[in-house]
Amino acid sequence: MQYKVVDMETYYRRGVFRHFSQDCKCSVSVTARVDVTALKQFSKETGTRFYLNFLYVLSRALNAKEDYRLAWDWQNERLLCWEKINPTQYVFHDDTETFTVAYTEYDTDYTVFYARALSDLKAAQNTRDYGLDEANHPNWFDASCLPWLSYDSLNIELPDGYLYFNPIINWGAYREENGRLMMPVTVRLNHASADGFQIARVFRLLEETMAALCGGE
């Protein structure tokens, strides 16, 4: 797990960071619909799982910018930036109606990542343990799917004053709208690390990454 210490004297958002880490500690959650028509077609043509393909797209999008790879070292009061962040899957069990946490290491190579994610998913399906291990996985972000609902809004609450910078991403079932498959995606980031621009950019990166994976523009 490699990281660098952010120089707060030259950090481009240092004024905003100070305000939202000291005066007004809060997070921001935004839900928007993302067009996943091409990704669904890509999954069908390649015989791969749509869920894992989106997990790759999401992981690549979040790793594209340092804003989404930040962490607060509260013991030493330092802002860190991970070299990369990895997705934490939540695998649902129909029989017990519970989840198992599955950690998948991110790789820029789609084939490598897909094989890892599929293996981790299958392993999690064979257990009913919760499997949460945050102490050994500090550079991980939450990636959780709600396939039972095509929702319009979702909000994640964390205690006020807790400088938790790991992204929390949720997405629901896609539905057809005007001939396109639109999927709700919710992005939660700490306000000290992201304003509306940085959050909106996640959605743009998702679109760009999907287009690149699917051979689009």
* Cα–Cα dist 135/8, whole Å: 26
pLDDT tens, position by position, 139-175: 999 999 999 999 999 998 887 667 899 999 999 999 9
For the chain, percent of residues with pLDDT exceeding 90: 92
pLDDT band at 189 (very low <50, low <70, confident <90, very high): very high
Residues 52-87: pLDDT tens digits? 999 999 999 999 999 999 999 989 999 999 999 999
Helix ranges restricted to H, the chain: 14-18, 37-46, 50-63, 110-125, 196-213
Question: What distance in Å separates the CA atoms of residue 145 and residue 44, rounded to the nearest whole number?
Answer: 19
pLDDT at 217: 47
Say yes or no to pLDDT of 48 above 60: yes
List beta partners, residue 103.
Answer: 88
Q: What is the pLDDT of residue 159?
A: 74
**How many Cβ atoms sit within 10 Å of the Cβ of residue 178?**
5
Percent of the chain with pLDDT over 70: 98
Return the CATH superfamily for domain 3-213. Answer: Chloramphenicol acetyltransferase-like domain (3.30.559.10)
Residue 99 has pLDDT above 80, yes or no: yes
pLDDT given at position 216: 58
- Which structure tokens are listed for 79? 């802002």
For residue 27, the one-letter residue type is S
Count of positions (residues) in the chain = 217
Give pTM, 2 decimals.
Answer: 0.96
